[in-house]
Amino acid sequence: MTTAALPAPSEARTYEVRTYGCQMNVHDSERISGLLEAAGYVRAPQDGDPDVVVFNTCAVRENADNRLYGNLGHLRPVKDSRPGMQIAVGGCLAQKDRGDIVAKAPWVDVVFGTHNIGSLPALLERARHNADAEVEILESLEVFPSTLPTRRESTYAGWVSISVGCNNTCTFCIVPSLRGKEKDRRPGDVLSEVRALVAEGVLEVTLLGQNVNSYGVEFGDRYAFGKLLRATGEIEGLERVRFTSPHPKDFTDDVIAAMAETPNVCHSLHMPLQSGSDSMLKAMRRSYRQERYLGIIEKVRAAMPDAAITTDIIVGFPGETEADFQSTLDVVREARFSSAFTFQYSKRPGTPAATMDSQVPKEVVKERYGRLMEVVEEITWAENRRQVGREVELLVAVGEGRKDERTGRMSGRARDGRLVHFNTGDLGAAIRPGDIVHTEITYAAPHHLNADGAPISHRTTRAGDAWAAGRTPRTPGVNLGLPTIGVPAPLPVQASACQTH
C-alpha cells in the first residue's frame, strides 16, 4: 500500500483547532493554539490538510455528544488516508467522557481534560512515539491556564480569565463537575496580562469567569471584582472593558458603581435570568428570586440609563407550569433586554435536573419557546428602534457581518455591545478592523442596527495597524514544567494507515 507524501524533516507539522461552546472555550482554544505554536507547530491554511486536529468540546447542550462523534466519524477516512495524522479531543466533553471517547472512536490519539491543557504537546508526542492513544484527565487544576502561551485571534479585542471553575450548584448545569471549584487569579496577574495586551495594541478586553462577580472568594475579598474593574480604568490605552458572566446572587452595588464611574467599562451587562418563576429558580438552585433580579436591573438602569442588558433563559425546566412560564414572560417584558440567549431545556446526564420528576413534554417546551421568542423579538426590536438617530462609537470588527462584502458595508460593535453594520462612505479601504468609527444609526432590526450615512469620524489605531500587517498578539507563558519540545519530528513512515489502531 502506498503511503501519503511526507513532509521534509525541516517542515513543521500543521494544526487546526475546532471550538464548540462558550467564551471560556474560545479563550482556551487560543491557549491550545499558543501551546502548539510554542512547540513548533504552525496553523494549517484554510484549504490545507492539518497534521493535527484538536476538538475543544462543550458538554452543556444535549446534542454535544452526537456532534463530536459525528465529526470524528467524518475524519476517520481522512485519517486512514493520511498516516501520521493525529486527532485530539479536549474540553468539557472530554473531561466528562474520558476514556469512553477512545472506546467509541479508537482512531482518536489524545484525550485531555479542562485541567491539563498544558499537557497537550507532550501527549501528542507520546501518542506518536508509542503508536497508541493517550488519555490524561486531571481532577483539579495544576496551574492557572493563563500562564500558558496564547495565540490571540484578534488584534483589537482579547479575553482575560480572572477565574476558572464555579462554586454554584445549579441543578441544570454540568460545568462545576467538569471545570472544578472556583480558582481566582491574583489581581496583579490579571492586570499584568491586560497591560501586555494593550502594549500589543489591543483596545478592548473581556474579563472571563464562570461567575465573575464572585471573584475574590478564594482570597477573602467579596468586593474584589469592583476593585478590579476600577483598576482597569487606570490602564492607559485600554478603551473598553467588558465582563461575562455574572450571577445575580453575587451582584453587589459596588460593581454597579464601578461600571458607572469607570469611563472605559462598557455599559453592557449580561445578567442570566434562567427563569422568572420563584419556584423554578428554587428548583434550579438559583439563590435569588424574581424581586431580587428585577431590583438589580432597576439599580443598573438608574446608574446607567444607556445600559444594554442581555440574559439567558431556559424554557421547559422540569416541573415548569404555564404559570411559571408566564412569570418568565412578565420579567422579560419588565426587564426589556436588548437580546436574550434562549434555550429549550435538555437533560444532561450527571446533573440533578436530569432525574427530576415532571419532565415537561417536548411539544409543550417547543410551543412555549416559540411564544418566548415572539416576546423577546418584539422587545429587542423596540429597544433597537430607540437607537435610531443616535451617534454611536464603533470598534470595527472582522467577520461580524455576513453580508458586508455584498452590501459594501463594514461592521462593528457599539460600546453597549450592539452590532452595527455601517456605510464606509468615501473612506472605503482606509477603515480597518480595530479602528474606531463614529456614525449615526439610521435603521433598526431585532438583532442589528444599520448606519447608512457616511461616518461622522474615523480614528486609526495600533490595533488597525496590526490587522493591516497581519499581526495578532501573542502572550508568553510557562509550559507547566514539561520537557522542552522543539519542532516536531516529521511524520513517520508506516506500512499501513490502520496499523496504529
Known binding residues for [4Fe-4S] cluster? 22, 58, 92, 166, 170, 173
Question: Per DSSP, what are the bridge partners of residue 159?
Answer: 206
Q: Is there a cis peptide before residue 457, judged by omega within 30 degrees of 0?
A: no
Beta-strand relationship, 110-112 and 150-151:
unpaired
137 strand-pairing partners:
none
Contact between residue 420 and residue 449 where contact means Cβ atoms under 8 Å apart: yes
What single-letter DSSP state applies at residue 117? G
Q: How many helices (H) and strands (E) does the chain have?
A: 15, 23
389 in the Ramachandran plot: left (φ > 0), alpha (ψ -120 to 50) or beta? left
With contact defined as beta carbons under 8 Å apart, do 131 and 110 qualify? no
Per-residue cell: 327: 412569570
- Distance, CA of 104 to CA of 237 (rounded, Å): 50
Burial of residue 501 (CB within 10 Å: 0-12, 13-18, 19+) is: middle
Residue 357, C-beta contacts closer than 8 angstroms, at least 6 positions apart = 318, 319
| Binding site per annotation, positions | 22, 58, 92, 166, 170, 173
Q: Which residues are CB-contacts of 336 (< 8 A; sequence separation ≥ 6)?
A: 309, 379, 382, 383
C-alpha cell at 111: 484525550
CA terminus-to-terminus distance, the chain: 17
Grid cell locating 296: 438589580
Q: CA 311, CA 448: separation in Å to the nearest integer?
A: 17
